Structure 1
Amino acid sequence: MSPTKQHTVIDSPYGPLTLVADGGVLCGLYMTDQRHRPAEETFGAHAEAPFVEAEEELEAYFAGELKDFSVQLRLHGTPFQRGVWDQLRKIPYGETRTYGELADALGNPGASRAVGLANGKNPIGIIVPCHRVVGADGSLTGYGGGLDRKQRLLDFERGTALF
Structure 2
Amino acid sequence: MYYKMMYESPLGSMILAASDTALVGAWFEGQKYCYGSLQGEVMREEDTPILRKAARWLDDYFAGRMPAIMALPLSPQGTEFRRLVWYLLCQVPYGKTTTYGELAREVEARTGKKMSAQAIGGAVGHNPISIIIPCHRVLGAKGQVTGYAGGVDKKIALLRIEGVAVK
Which residue does 2:7 correspond to in 1? 10
Deviations, residues 6-61 of structure 1 (Å, cap 9, x unaligned): 10001111111100012241100010221111387646011112312111111111
CA contact (8 A) 1:17 1:32 kept: yes
SS at match of 1:110: coil
CA distance in 1, matches of 2:127, 2:42: 16
Partner in structure 1 of residue 64 of structure 2: 64
Deviation at 1:104, TM superposition (A): 1.0
- Equivalent residue runs for 1:75-94 within 5 Å: 75-94=76-95
Correspondences of 1:12-161 after superposition (within 5 Å): 12-38=9-35, 42=41, 44-49=43-48, 50-69=50-69, 70-106=71-107, 107=109, 108=113, 110-158=115-163
| Residues 1:18 and 1:43: Cα distance change in structure 2 (over 3 Å) | farther
Query: How far, CA to CA, are the matches of 1:68 and 1:114 in structure 2?
Result: 27
Are the equivalent residues in 2 in contact too, given 1:100–1:109 (CA < 8 A)?
A: no
Does the residue aligned with 2:120 lie in a helix, a strand or coil? helix
Q: Percent identity?
A: 38
Count of aligned positions? 158
Unaligned runs of at least 5 residues, structure 2: none
Counterpart secondary structure, 2:5? strand
**SS of 1:11 mapped into structure 2:** strand
Deviations 1:46-97 (Å, cap 9, x if unpaired)?
1112312111111111111224222000111000000000010001111110
TM-score under structure 2 normalisation?
Answer: 0.87
**In 2, Cα distance between equivalents of 1:110 and 1:56:** 36
**Deviation at residue 110 of structure 1 after TM alignment:** 3.3
Could you say what the CA RMSD is over the residues aligned between the two structures, in angstroms? 2.0
Cα distance, 1:149–1:43 mapped onto 2, change above 3 Å: farther
1:16 is paired with a residue whose SS is: strand
Q: 2:21·2:73 contact (CA, 8 Å) conserved in 1?
A: no
Code of the residue aligned with 2:97 in structure 1: it is T
Contact 1:8 1:18 in 2 (8 A): yes
Please give the per-residue CA displacement for 1:98-151, whole angstroms capped at 9, x wherever unaligned. 001011111256321110000000000000000000000111111000000000
Q: What's the TM-score, normalizing by structure 1?
A: 0.89
